[in-house]
Amino acid sequence: MRIVDIRQRTFPLNVAIANAAISFDDMTASAVAVVTDVVRNGKAVVGYGFDSVGRYGHGGLLAERFAPRVLAADPASLLDDSGRNLDPDKVWAAAMQNEKPAGHGERSGAIGLLDTAVWDAVAKIEDRPLWRVLHQRYGRGPAPTTVPVYGSGGHYRPDGDIRTLADEVKAMLGQGYARVKIKAGGAPLVEDRRRIEAVLKVLPSPDRLALDLNGALAPAVAETFLDTVAPYGLGWVEEPAPPLDFATSARLAERYSHPIATGENLFAADEVKNLLRYGGLRPDRDLLQFDIALAYGIPEYRRIVAAVEAAGWTRARLYPHAGHALALHVVGGLGLGCAEAGADQSKMFGGFPAGVTIADGRASLPDTPGIGFERKANLFAMAAGLVE
């Protein structure tokens, strides 16, 4: 078997939302199709991948560097021992040849995008959902049937309406989510308190609420923010420190006794090791949110999991960033703590493939082969046309 072609497309998101760090008005994302010569149900197997959202599309780098390397490799050098399926680690190594160490941005997203599509193809060729493939290879204990999930939303909107925010959270609870996350730190503290208290009114307990600061606050402002919200006893506060400011992270963790979550803006095992070594985080309560698709994909995520475990943490503390189907499969397959979910199914990057149900704060795992992007119609439309 072989990879016949790798095709990509970058598309605009067309959403008008913001968090404390950036506006999403001009945000883009990419879709990729890895076309194979393996036939299933009378058609060539195609693996699809989509970006995690927030760092723009990665299709350009994929087209410039990584796809040509993979297409130029001897096809036999990319196969597993059976010779009948791709070996994702070998495809990864072919894409990354002659890349210098460090510089973990953009490139890590382009490789993660490609790797997503490779795993989608691998699972389709195995005729099983990706989470089952991952569980068999890298999982622990019995196969799960559902995984914990939390609803993510509560962005700042141009109208700034607090009732809209409370309604959004109520809708998430109605959908079956038990925990929710909203954005904070992007408005004056007095407004953020109003937002928080409006949401707490509709939740059964304050530990069901998480706040995402997006690493945008100056350290002194973050201290005040944490002091202010400490009495609530929230589920977690996310990115109170700038992503690479490990000294501030350690100081805030010293000050704030409730859970802190971070890591979505670290993109390689190198960077994760430094966070674990210098960031002052606490394995008994804090949460690690490295984004699988933005951080070089599953081969690197396995190195990240190994680094996390070597530092004395359990997989239950891993809550990968980005509410997409890839993360859901990896949470299920590797036995991680919780998946994020963009709860608004009407959004391109909201909700999961059709057939995934949410109940009691848990998501069912897909049973169709591959990742299932085809069953998330408004997202999959962005890949339409890549393969006739």
When the beta carbons of 10 and 364 are compared against a copy of itself, the nearer one is 10
Do strands 28-40 and 43-50 pair parallel, antiparallel, or not at all (unpaired)? antiparallel
When the beta carbons of 125 and 268 are compared against a copy of itself, the nearer one is 268
Token duo for residue 63: 């087209």
Helices and strands in the chain: count of H runs, count of E runs: 13, 12
When the beta carbons of 276 and 365 are compared against a copy of itself, the nearer one is 276
Using CB under 8 A, list all residues that contact a copy of itself: 10, 21-28, 54-57, 60-61, 63-65, 97-108, 214-216, 242-247, 265-268, 270-271, 273-274, 277-278, 294
When the beta carbons of 24 and 232 are compared against a copy of itself, the nearer one is 24
Token duo for residue 150: 């939390």
Give Cα 290 to chain centroid, integer Å: 7
Distance CA 222, CA 265 (A): 17
Contact present, 295 and 268 (Cβ < 8 Å): yes
Helix-strand-coil split of the chain, %, nearest 5:
40, 20, 40
Distance CA 321, CA 151 (A): 12
Supply φ then ψ for residue 256, to 5 degrees.
-110, 120
Q: Cα 20–320–324 angle (5° rounding)? A: 85
Longest distance between any two alpha carbons in the chain, whole Å: 61
Q: Nearest Cα to 104, choosing from 327, 297, 279?
A: 297
Q: Catalytic residues, which ones?
A: 183, 321
When the beta carbons of 54 and 235 are compared against a copy of itself, the nearer one is 54
